[in-house]
Structure 1
Amino acid sequence: MVTKYRRKVLNNEISDYLKNHFIRLLEPKGMTVEEWNHDGDHIHLLFRSVPNIDLSKAINRYKSVSSRFVKQDFSQIKQYLWKEMFWSRSYCLLTTGGASIETIRQYIESQGMK
């Protein structure tokens, strides 16, 4: 998931805050966080999901709710994102396919490291 205008507003504190909201909102629906990491302008997330959940609706709901909360609780973000949206409208959702979970986990863990 990418921040609006690709603004580099994500730090460890905000990332942890967003992760906690993901867990609070989506774990009861059957989505479990496996790995979470961020760069300044996007989140990498590996999760497991029950097969009967509509992933696009769940992600869009999360983005809507978390956008409101993060802009409310981290008011300094408003100087970079002056409109209501925190997240870009788009996101990339991929299945793990033939790659092992460990390979994907290592990729996500390496994000943000230079």
Structure 2
Amino acid sequence: MNEYRRTNTTVSLLNYHFVFCPRYRRKIFLQPKVEQRFKELVKEVCEELQIQVIAHECDKDHTHLFLNALPTLSPADMMAKIKGVTSKKLREEFPHLHHLPSLWTRSYFVSTAGNVSSETIKRYVENQKKRN
């Protein structure tokens, strides 16, 4: 789960927990086919962006994503792509969603997660001068 990602110039461990919901908290995930297709689309988008899906679950009116990404992508960029693609495709593929001008609210929750707590990092940074 907490694997470091490497590029030519960086080593990173950026895990994000996202939560977002449909407009008006519509219960779109009550239909298993919608949920299944949504998860497939998220997986496709994430593969294209080189994002690892650590966990993904849906409740009737919201979804949780736990993702590992490279530092070249901001959380806002990830959400824009995931929400944009899934909104367009789901509204095209499911007639009962077709009339909606957009599927998702503009808002989302995001938090970061890693191997250590914020307090541990704070102590580490504060103690750097003492080490030399």
Q: TM-score range by the shorter chain?
A: 0.7 to 0.9
- Indicate the residue corresponding to 2:53 in structure 1: 33
Count of residue pairs brought into register by the alignment: 96
**Partner Cα separation in structure 2 for residue 36 and residue 2 of structure 1:** 14
Which one has a larger percent strand, Structure 1 or Structure 2?
2
Deviates more, 1:20-29 or 1:66-75: 20-29
Is 1:88 matched up with 2:105? yes
**Partner Cα separation in structure 1 for residue 63 and residue 107 of structure 2:** 13
Q: 1:28 to 1:83 in 2, by over 3 A?
A: closer
RMSD: 1.7
**Partner Cα separation in structure 1 for residue 64 and residue 56 of structure 2:** 6
Structure 2: gaps of 5 or more residues: 1-19, 118-132
Percent of aligned pairs with the same amino acid: 24
TM-score (norm 1): 0.74
Is 1:8 matched up with 2:27? yes
Is 1:50 matched up with 2:70? yes
Question: What SS does the corresponding residue of 2:29 show, helix, strand or coil?
Answer: coil
**Partner Cα separation in structure 2 for residue 33 and residue 14 of structure 1:** 19
**Partner Cα separation in structure 2 for residue 27 and residue 68 of structure 1:** 18
**Superposition deviation, residue 73 in structure 1:** 0.7
> What amino acid sits opposite 2:24 in the alignment?
Y
- The structure having more radius of gyration, on CA atoms, is 2
**Partner Cα separation in structure 1 for residue 43 and residue 89 of structure 2:** 14
Question: Structure 1, residues 31-74: CA drift from partner, whole Å, max 9, x if none?
Answer: 11111111111001111111221221121122112101101111
**Superposition deviation, residue 26 in structure 1:** 2.1
**Partner Cα separation in structure 1 for residue 36 and residue 53 of structure 2:** 12
